[in-house]
Amino acid sequence: MIPAVDYIRILPELVLSIFGIIVMMVDPVLPEQSPKKPLGVIAVIGVLAALAATAYQPGFYGSAFYNTVSVDTFSVFFHVVVLLIALVVILISFEYLDVQRIRSGEYYALVLFGTVGMMLMSAAVELVLIFIALEISSISTYILAGMRRRAAESAEASLKYFLLGSFATAFFLYGVALIFGATGTTNVYGIAHYFQTQQASVLAYLAVGLMFVGLGFKVASAPFHVWTPDVYEGSPAPVVALMSTGPKAAAFAVLLRVLFATGAPGWFWMVWVSAALSMTLGNIGALVQQNVKRLLAYSSIAHAGYLLVAFAAAKQVGISAAIFYAASYAAMNVGAFAVIGHFASEGEKYVTLDDYAGLGRRSPLLAATLTIFLLSLIGIPVTGGFFAKFYVFSAALQSNLVGLTIIGVINSAIAAYYYLRVIVYMYMRDERVEAPVARIPAGLGVGLAISLVATIYLGVMPGRVLDYAIQSAQDLLK
């Protein structure tokens, strides 16, 4: 008999799934050619309800369903992050779907289901459940990537993401199987116990490596990053906002919980190399991009690298720095893609740097907002991105990772150049093409405001969130 409290422990996931089903059921009732905004409103209500359910959870920490799900400060943190991402993404999708004439009601349902998967990834402590959650989130995003079905590049993105993604998931599954072979359990606590008490076998090394490949693909860290630019370029901008932050944060949560916190063997050098490669390849790739979406795709590879630096650091400081980074990266990146999605206009025509020339004059507010997100991505003070980088590098230095810190610091200086290029185009160049700028609708306004407030809040008063991150790290290491 499953105790009732177990259902409270997965209440946010339950609520969101129910709302996803409601969206699916209401969709056929609406007239076919009408905008699907009502479905979006339902989805927003669903996310808010799930947030409320998450807020209710701190009284019920503990594991549920035969020790397969664990609700702790860590999972609650990622729940909130993922839900806020979903909220903003849905809000910015209202206008986007209208402009692109996408009339698919399942869009909102897929966002909700994907979010359920991501939330579950951060709470699951059983590898099989993690795999299922990973699939839920991945399959939703595969489909979402192809939502602009009239555009060839969107179909390409979807297919590419699907094929490579399945390939990577297979690696993960293979790793899970080997872990079971090596340790005799698929429970995270059991695995941790094994790693801490026994000499790791070759099998265990192999298993950790394979799982890292699978998850490394999801977080777009080098050398598993090659899919990122094409997929981000082709997918609808709000979907990129979602998939560059949500599944990434969730996959990082899995990496933290399953591999980092358990003390997996062979972990350090794997992460070290991947972090150094991601930062360097991502930043160098971004330097030559003309398409803003591709530029941010490379930047997201680089940011995965910065985040992995924290994974190479000592556990306590590393985990809290990584958690903080994931949250602030989500805030700024969702914001940036929200602006890009709005500005891209019908058929995502205006996405190159040349189209951004003179944006500061045509749309001062939008340009200023994008500037703040870009500054945050550079890591300039008063923004969350600054503290995120700061914590990561200070965690690395506290763990005596001088080499990796220097690589990271040099990389963030290189990165300044290409983000700055966007700002330069917006403010300092005269426009060559007259790209129209529509008024900012309410949904986008609210979505941007949330990201902006979060970015600035994390940059000015990071204390509370960081305290929470430290608390989560302690819980995770218990």
Partner 1 sequence: MKFINDNILTIVVFLPLAGAILLAFFPRRDRDVRYFALAVSLITLLASLHLTWYFVRGQSGFQYEENVPWIPHPNIHYHMGVDGISLWLVILTTFLMPLCVLISWKSIGDRVKEFFILMLVLETAMIGVFVALDLFLFYFFWEATLIPMALLIGMYGHGRKIYAAVKFFLYTMIASVFMLAAILWLYARTGSFDFVTIQGMIQSGQVSGFGNAALWLFLGFFVAFAVKVPLFPVHTWLPDAHVEAPTAGSVLLAGVLLKMGTYGLLRFNLGLFPEQARRNAPWIIALAIIGIIYGALVAMIQPNIKRLVAYTSVSHLGFVVLGIFSFTQLGVDGAVYQMLSHGISTGALFMLLGMIYDRRHTYELSEFGGLATPMPVFATFFAFIMLSSVGLPLLNGFVGEFMVLSGAFQAKQLYGILAATGVIWSACYLLWMYQRVFYGNVTKPVNSSLRDIDARERVSLWPLAIAALVMGVAPMLWLHSIDPAVSAALKQFSGVTQAAVLPARNSPAAPGPPLHADFARNGVEVIGR
Q: What phi, psi does 2 have (nearest 5°)? A: -85, 125
Joined together, the tokens standing for residue 264 give 């997996």
- Count the site residues for partner 1 by CB under 8 A: 35
Instruction: Find the part of the chain contacting partner 1 (CB under 8 A) among 84-92, 235-243, 345-353, 411-419.
Output: 411-419
* Site for partner 1 contains 382 (CB under 8 A): yes
Residue 186 CB coordination number (10 Å): 19
Would you give the distance in Å from CA 333 to the centre of its chain? 9
Please state the closest distance from residue 312 (CB atom) to partner 1, in A.
15
* Site for partner 1 contains 405 (CB under 8 A): yes
- Count Cβ atoms within 10 A of the Cβ of residue 67 and give its class: 0-12 exposed, 13-18 middle, 19 or more buried: middle
Residue choice 104, 201, 398, 474 for contact with partner 1 (CB under 8 A):
398
Residue choice 128, 424, 437, 456 for contact with partner 1 (CB under 8 A):
424
* Site for partner 1 contains 360 (CB under 8 A): yes
Residue 244 CB coordination number (10 Å): 29
* Nearest residue (CB) to partner 1, 55 versus 413: 413
DSSP type of residue 200: P
Locus of tokens 């150049």: 417
Stretch 166-205 residues interacting with partner 1 (CB under 8 A): none
* Site for partner 1 contains 262 (CB under 8 A): no
User: 398 near 316, Cβ under 8 Å?
Assistant: no
Closest to 303 (Cα-Cα) out of 382, 456, 408:
408
Instruction: Find the part of the chain contacting partner 1 (CB under 8 A) among 52-60, 131-139, 331-339, 401-409.
Output: 401-409
* Site for partner 1 contains 430 (CB under 8 A): no
* Nearest residue (CB) to partner 1, 90 versus 357: 357
Would you give the distance in Å from CA 111 to the centre of its chain? 13
- CA–CA distance, 96 with 44 (Å, rounded to integer): 16
Strands 62-64 and 69-71 come out as antiparallel
What sections of 255-314 are H helices per DSSP?
A: 267-287, 292-312
- CA–CA distance, 282 with 225 (Å, rounded to integer): 9
Residue choice 5, 25, 52, 413 for contact with partner 1 (CB under 8 A):
413
Residue choice 380, 438, 446, 477 for contact with partner 1 (CB under 8 A):
380
* Site for partner 1 contains 361 (CB under 8 A): yes
What b/e string do you get for 297-317 counting C-beta neighbours within 10 Å, with b at 16 or more? bbbbbbbbbbbbbbbbbebbb
* Nearest residue (CB) to partner 1, 211 versus 336: 336
* Site for partner 1 contains 37 (CB under 8 A): no
Residue choice 353, 375, 377, 388 for contact with partner 1 (CB under 8 A):
375
Instruction: Find the part of the chain contacting partner 1 (CB under 8 A) among 112-120, 169-177, 220-228, 398-406.
Output: 398-406
* Nearest residue (CB) to partner 1, 268 versus 417: 417
* Nearest residue (CB) to partner 1, 198 versus 400: 400
Please state the closest distance from residue 275 (CB atom) to partner 1, in A.
17
Binding map of partner 1 across residues 459-478, x = CB under 8 A, - = no contact? --xxx--xx--x--------
- CA–CA distance, 187 with 176 (Å, rounded to integer): 10
What sections of 357-478 are H helices per DSSP?
A: 359-362, 364-378, 384-398, 402-428, 442-460, 463-477
**What would the DSSP string read from start to end of 358-369?**
THHHH-HHHHHH
* Site for partner 1 contains 381 (CB under 8 A): yes
Binding site for partner 1 (CB under 8 A): 360-361, 364, 375, 380-382, 386, 390-391, 393-394, 397-398, 405-406, 409-410, 412-413, 416-417, 420-421, 423-424, 427-429, 461-463, 466-467, 470
